[in-house]
């Protein structure tokens, strides 16, 4: 667990960025569909969120040609990057629902999965806290519901029992529910680990490719469809999985998929500095109302404290779906303060917002042969998709075997784990754990807040998915995510990336074309 | 530096204040002293303001009411430091402190290492307040939302203009000098906005910067959001005011770098992150002192240097 560097597996898949004048090397640049080979794919997955990546990972265990595409310039950059970062036990799901089943299975999967794939996970458990008499009256029903969801370890706690466990609980606490099955997770590493293994096992990954339409094949036997990118590339595939999250409606319109309505439900969060972490010992959950699950207060696996989310329904395609507002953040502080005493005086470091894919037809809508044979729509993973990603992938594969006649044989050469060197540096802390290293850049901090070295940044640049944007590096190493929000490290970081990859510093972006760090179109002056 | 080494005094931070402490201790013949600096050179914040041919100096040497290249100013201080016997550790970051044992854990190119001392001076400086800390500025998380530190990093370090139509958020001396720097480098006239009704820089300070630019001022902004899809396109207030731009610069309103103290258990006020002083520059644990902008507020480089000299006096008294 204590060595330096990153894993360098033998990589059987192809990786391209559709980034014409972009900030990546020639060898990574996608210019024609021919680069992916002439054979049509057995399966193309649109959307490299945690759902698409999880599916690609599971499929990579079989002998099957798979393509994973996303319009963004890293995996897990949509809804999957901005959530509460919890593995849910499903105690509050609707008993008997698909969500309940998926979460129940996933809860059992996660400890092993996290250990195998090297995804930081901390099973600290949760407490649902009733702070009014009315909420207290709901606890019994909530406990019953949890047991009906097979979360049999859930039980009611008295106010005294809560105070013993949570000395900073609000003085209004009346009682609560102990929910041992809730865990903290590194939400970014989930998508990344899935996709890295998939790539190593031969899944091709194309980033920066906005799928604007689907050309349907002749509806006979196993038709050959084509995904068509916004810039006109045609990607042939016999089966297509629409895992495009909030983009799933637009994509489904392209192949005549059945009716479903989705919209972004915005959730704003406030992140507190590490000094706030000792304030709570568990994930503190409010008693949900019929309208929302409410504002929770939870540690993050990174050692911060998080409060949020809000629940604000916005229209589809509204760019504000991931914007924060002064009013929303005020409501988060208010909500969090109902659970934890002294929260409002803690120093904050950042705010962010995520957009749940709220679906009128319910959580986890799955349609086989939707619009045309061989097409699968999966949408509505509203608030639990990170947790369910693993069980959902299995469920989707089962469904495709039954409904699409998909035949699978295991790939005996496939990897199903990442080695210890794939643990992120901030988690394994090699120096502190006694490792020695010949490279001095592992001992030279670039990000002072999180103590991340230049060596860790270079390792991340060399990791299998070849991250090339600042945000992609941030999700892998934690640079730019501390209390100074890049004050100290933004420019030195860009200098390291440019130096290591040979990409001009003026070309570097936060998250793809249009997000250049300095105004584009200027000649680089060497001072 | 062998691990576990013991010093008479350890100084955290090699900016003007830390240098002042080292020089002051040397004058008193106190040693051995170690100065630990996490960057590759000493000099602190002024070092970001590089001297370049054709460059315009914008670092304010406020006690003399003129602008200089910060690098030259800090360079003069560094020369005084070089004449002392101080052990200087560069690219070495103190990551943790034990206030009672006066033990510092640091990461440096050879690994992790502990040092101890009879007295410690925290001279870790300050940074600029983030939008989340301001509380009144939310919105999109886009590219080209940066700090004054980035303006100098891009311009002086890389010859690149971060924004052509900058919206400067903040109105203190640093904000005005940031606006001047951008304008001198060829940006459009900056827009300047703040929550305050009138700029926090004084009249004289504002007049001083008219040599370069007179930003379009809007005050009294109580709630606003950064606009833009992938890059910042300006700022919009909740009452409908709109400031268009291609970059948002978050300037000034310094926040002291007191996280070592806070996480290590020295007394720090929240949420201001202000150190709680026992008396003078002494911190809550005996043998711990602070100097320079880590004490909070805005102080110029010379003030910080002399404040460091003063801290050295207090350390000497303590050691006696
Ligand atoms: C506020 C909030 C809190 C949450 N908390 C939790 C939690 O604690 N635990 C938990 O388990 N879950 C949580 N969730 C839910 C979880 O984040 C989501 O269910 C999950 O991320 C959904 O993953 P996805 O892959 O379906 O969607 P996404 O991550 O949105 O992925 C879809 C991808 O498709 C791509 N795409 C879309 N259209 C196209 C196109 N035309 N062409 C190419 N690519 C396209 C997008 O770029 C995107 O990357 C939370 C969600 C929110 C918003
Ligand atoms: C953007 C900006 C613009 C400014 N403009 C002006 C101006 O024009 N004129 C003016 O007079 N003043 C200006 N100032 C104020 C400036 O802070 C002072 O001039 C002066 O540099 C403060 O000296 P200091 O030694 O207290 O802090 P700094 O100069 O900030 O030095 C602190 C040093 O400590 C190091 N350090 C911090 N923590 C650790 C650690 N844990 N381990 C090791 N090393 C550490 C830092 O790397 C840094 O080098 C400006 C400040 C900022 C942020």
**Most ligand 2 atoms within 8 A of CB, residue of B36, B90, B125, B290 to mutate:** B125
CA A509, B175, A272: angle at the middle one, nearest 5?
A: 65
Choose, out of A323, A493, A525, A526, the residue to mutate when testing the contact with B (most B CBs < 10 Å). A323
Interchain contact, B160 vs A518, CB within 8 Å: yes
Query: What are the domain boundaries of chain B?
Result: 5-127+254-319, 130-250
Query: What are the domain boundaries of chain A?
Result: 40-121+185-262+360-420, 126-180+263-356, 424-507
- Shared fold status for A40-121+185-262+360-420 and A424-507: no
Listed in sequence order, the residues at least 6 apart from B177 whose beta carbon sits closer than 8 Å to its beta carbon are: B58, B59, B60, B67, B148, B209
Chain A's closest residue to B90, CA to CA, is A444
CB A455 within 8 A of CB A444: yes
Yes or no: is domain A424-507 CATH 1.10.10?
yes
- Which ligand minimizes its atom distance to the CA of A209? 1
Establish whether the linkage from the previous residue to A183 is cis, with ω within 30° of 0. no
User: 3-state class of A156 per DSSP?
Assistant: strand
Domain spanning A40-121+185-262+360-420: which CATH class is it, in words?
A: alpha beta
Closest Cβ–Cβ partner in B133, B142, B246 for A348: B133
Q: Which two tokens stand for residue A377?
A: 């729509």
| Main-chain phi, psi angles of A315, to 5 degrees | -70, 150
pLDDT of B268 strictly over 80: yes
What homologous superfamily is domain A126-180+263-356 in, according to CATH?
Answer: D-Amino Acid Oxidase, subunit A, domain 2 (3.30.9.10)
Q: Which fold has domain B130-250?
A: FAD/NAD(P)-binding domain (3.50.50)
Query: Using a CB-CB distance cutoff of 8 angstroms, which residues of chain A are in contact with residue B135?
Result: 326, 329, 348
Does B12 sit in the ligand 2 pocket, CB within 6 Å? yes
What homologous superfamily is domain B5-127+254-319 in, according to CATH?
Answer: FAD/NAD(P)-binding domain (3.50.50.60)
B279 versus B294: the higher-pLDDT residue is B294
Q: What is the pLDDT of residue A525?
A: 47
Closest Cβ–Cβ partner in B107, B160, B224 for A524: B160
Total CB pairs under 8 A between chain A and B = 179
Nearest-angstrom CA–CA distance, A343 and A346: 6
Chain centroid to Cα A453, Å, comes to 24
Interchain contact, B158 vs A527, CB within 8 Å: yes
Under DSSP, the state recorded for A435 is -
Confidence of residue B3 (pLDDT cuts 50, 70, 90): confident
Closest CA relative to residue B44, chosen from B312, B292, B307 = B292
CA of B162 to the centre of ligand 2 (A): 22
Closest CA relative to residue A467, chosen from A35, A61, A81, A77 = A77
Q: What is the pLDDT of residue B64?
A: 81
Confidence of residue B226 (pLDDT cuts 50, 70, 90): very high
- Shared fold status for B5-127+254-319 and B130-250: yes
CA of A506 to the centre of ligand 2 (A): 27
Average pLDDT of the residues in B232-257:
97
- The answer to whether residue A525 neighbours chain B at the CB level (below 8 Å) is yes
Nearest-angstrom CA–CA distance, A356 and A262: 10
Q: Give the strand pairing for A312-313 and A211-215.
A: unpaired
Percentages helix, strand, coil for chain A (3-state, rounded to 5) are 35, 20, 45
CA of A246 to the centre of ligand 1 (A): 7
Query: Using a CB-CB distance cutoff of 8 angstroms, which residues of chain B are in contact with residue A512?
Result: 230
What are the residue ranges in chain A where pLDDT is below 70? 1, 523-527
Q: What is the pLDDT of residue A527?
A: 34
* Dihedral over alpha carbons A337, A341, A345, A350 (to 10 degrees): -50
Choose, out of A484, A489, A499, A522, the residue to mutate when testing the contact with B (most B CBs < 10 Å). A484
- The answer to whether residue A519 neighbours chain B at the CB level (below 8 Å) is yes
pLDDT digits (tens, 9 = 90+) for B96-116: 999 999 999 999 998 999 999
Q: Which two tokens stand for residue B22?
A: 């080292």
Average model confidence (pLDDT) across chain B: 95
Listed in sequence order, the residues at least 6 apart from A86 whose beta carbon sits closer than 8 Å to its beta carbon are: A126, A182, A183, A184, A185, A283, A298, A386, A387
Chain A's closest residue to B44, CA to CA, is A488
360-419 of A, contacting B, C-beta below 8 A: none
pLDDT digits (tens, 9 = 90+) for B5-23: 999 999 999 999 999 999 9
- The answer to whether residue A518 neighbours chain B at the CB level (below 8 Å) is yes
- Residues above pLDDT 90, as percent of chain B: 92
Closest Cβ–Cβ partner in A326, A448, A519 for B162: A519
293-352 of A, contacting B, C-beta below 8 A: 319, 322-329, 345-352
Query: CB-based burial of residue A180 (10 Å sphere; 0-12 exposed, 13-18 middle, 19+ buried)?
Result: middle
Helical segments of A292-384, H only: 326-339
Q: Which two tokens stand for residue B7?
A: 């010093």
pTM comes to: 0.97
465-504 of A, contacting B, C-beta below 8 A: 483-488, 490-492, 495
Nearest-angstrom CA–CA distance, B220 and B234: 17
Q: What is the pLDDT of residue A20?
A: 80
């Amino acid at each position: 667990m204590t060595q330096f560097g990153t894993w360098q597996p033998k990589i059987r898949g192809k990786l391209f960025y559709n980034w014409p004048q972009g900030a990546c090397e020639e060898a990574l640049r996608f210019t024609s569909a021919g680069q992916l080979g002439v054979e049509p794919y057995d399966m193309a997955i649109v959307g490299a969120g945690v759902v698409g990546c999880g599916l690609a990972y599971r499929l990579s265990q079989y002998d099957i040609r798979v393509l994973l595409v996303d319009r963004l310039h890293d995996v897990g950059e949509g809804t999957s990057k901005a959530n509460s970062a919890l593995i849910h036990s499903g105690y509050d799901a609707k008993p008997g629902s698909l969500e309940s089943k998926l979460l129940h299975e996933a809860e059992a999967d996660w400890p092993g999965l996290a250990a195998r794939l090297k995804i930081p996970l901390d099973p600290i458990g949760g407490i649902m806290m009733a702070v009014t008499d009315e909420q207290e009256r709901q606890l019994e029903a909530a406990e019953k519901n949890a047991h009906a969801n097979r979360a049999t370890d859930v039980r009611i706690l008295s106010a005294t029992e809560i105070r013993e466990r949570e000395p900073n609980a609000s003085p209004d606490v009346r009682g609560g529910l102990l929910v041992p099955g809730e865990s903290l997770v590194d939400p970014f590493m989930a998508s990344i680990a899935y996709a890295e293994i998939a790539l190593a096992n031969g899944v091709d990954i194309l980033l920066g490719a906005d799928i604007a339409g689907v050309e349907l094949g002749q509806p006979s036997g196993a038709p050959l469809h084509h995904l068509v990118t916004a810039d006109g590339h045609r990607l042939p595939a016999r089966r297509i999985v629409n895992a495009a999250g909030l983009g799933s409606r637009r994509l489904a319109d392209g192949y005549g998929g059945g009716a479903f309505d989705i919209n972004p439900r915005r959730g704003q969060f406030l992140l507190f500095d590490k000094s706030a972490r000792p304030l709570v010992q568990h994930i503190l959950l409010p008693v949900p109302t019929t309208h929302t699950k409410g504002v929770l207060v939870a540690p993050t696996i990174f050692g911060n404290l998080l409060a949020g989310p809000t629940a604000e329904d916005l229209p589809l395609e509204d760019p504000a779906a991931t914007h924060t507002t002064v009013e929303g953040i005020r409501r988060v502080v208010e909500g969090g303060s109902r659970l934890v005493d002294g929260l409002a005086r803690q120093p904050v470091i950042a705010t962010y917002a995520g957009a749940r894919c709220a679906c009128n037809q319910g959580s986890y809508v799955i349609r086989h042969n939707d619009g045309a044979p061989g097409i699968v729509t999966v949408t509505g993973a509203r608030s639990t998709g990170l947790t369910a990603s693993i069980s959902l992938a299995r469920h989707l594969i089962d469904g495709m075997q039954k409904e699409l006649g998909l035949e699978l044989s295991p790939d005996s050469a496939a990897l199903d784990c990442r080695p210890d060197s794939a643990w992120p540096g901030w988690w394994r802390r090699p120096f502190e754990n006694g490792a020695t290293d010949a490279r001095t850049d592992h001992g030279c901090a670039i990000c002072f807040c999180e103590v991340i070295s230049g060596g860790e940044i270079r390792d991340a640049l060399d990791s299998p998915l070849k991250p090339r944007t600042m945000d992609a590096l941030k999700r892998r190493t934690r640079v730019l995510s501390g209390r100074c929000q890049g004050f100290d490290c933004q420019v030195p970081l860009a200098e390291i990336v440019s130096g290591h990859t040979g990409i001009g510093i003026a070309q570097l972006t936060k998250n793809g074309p249009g997000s250049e760090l300095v105004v584009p179109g200027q000649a680089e002056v060497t001072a | 530096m062998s691990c576990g080494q013991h010093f008479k005094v350890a100084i955290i931070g090699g900016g003007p204040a830390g240098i002042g402490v080292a020089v002051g201790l040397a004058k008193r013949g106190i040693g051995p002293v170690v100065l630990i600096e996490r960057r590759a050179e000493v000099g602190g914040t002024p070092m970001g303001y590089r001297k370049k041919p054709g460059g315009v100096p914008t670092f304010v040497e406020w006690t003399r009411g003129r602008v200089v290249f910060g690098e030259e100013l800090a360079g003069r201080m560094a020369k005084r430091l070089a004449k002392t016997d101080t052990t200087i550790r560069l690219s070495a970051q103190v990551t943790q402190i034990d206030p009672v044992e006066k033990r510092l854990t640091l990461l440096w190119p050879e690994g992790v290492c502990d040092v101890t001392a009879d007295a410690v001076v925290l001279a870790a400086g300050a940074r600029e307040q983030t939008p989340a800390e301001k509380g009144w500025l939310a919105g999109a998380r886009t590219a080209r939302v940066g700090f004054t530190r980035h303006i100098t990093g891009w311009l002086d370090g890389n010859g690149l203009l971060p924004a052509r139509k900058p919206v400067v958020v903040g109105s203190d001396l640093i904000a005005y000098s940031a606006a001047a720097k951008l304008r001198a480098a060829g940006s459009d006239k900056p827009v300047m906005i703040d929550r305050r009704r009138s700029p926090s820089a004084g009249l004289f300070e504002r007049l001083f910067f008219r040599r370069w630019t007179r930003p379009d001022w809007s005050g009294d902004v109580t709630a606003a959001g950064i606009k833009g899809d992938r890059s910042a396109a300006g700022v919009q207030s909740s009452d409908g005011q709109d400031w268009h731009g291609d970059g948002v610069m978050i300037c000034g309103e310094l926040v002291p770098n007191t996280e070592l103290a806070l996480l290590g258990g020295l007394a720090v006020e929240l949420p201001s992150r202000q150190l709680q002083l026992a008396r003078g520059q002494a911190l809550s644990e005996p043998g711990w002192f602070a100097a320079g902008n880590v004490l909070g507020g805005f102080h110029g480089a010379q003030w910080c240097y002399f404040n460091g000299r003063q801290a050295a006096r207090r350390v000497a008294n303590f050691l006696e």
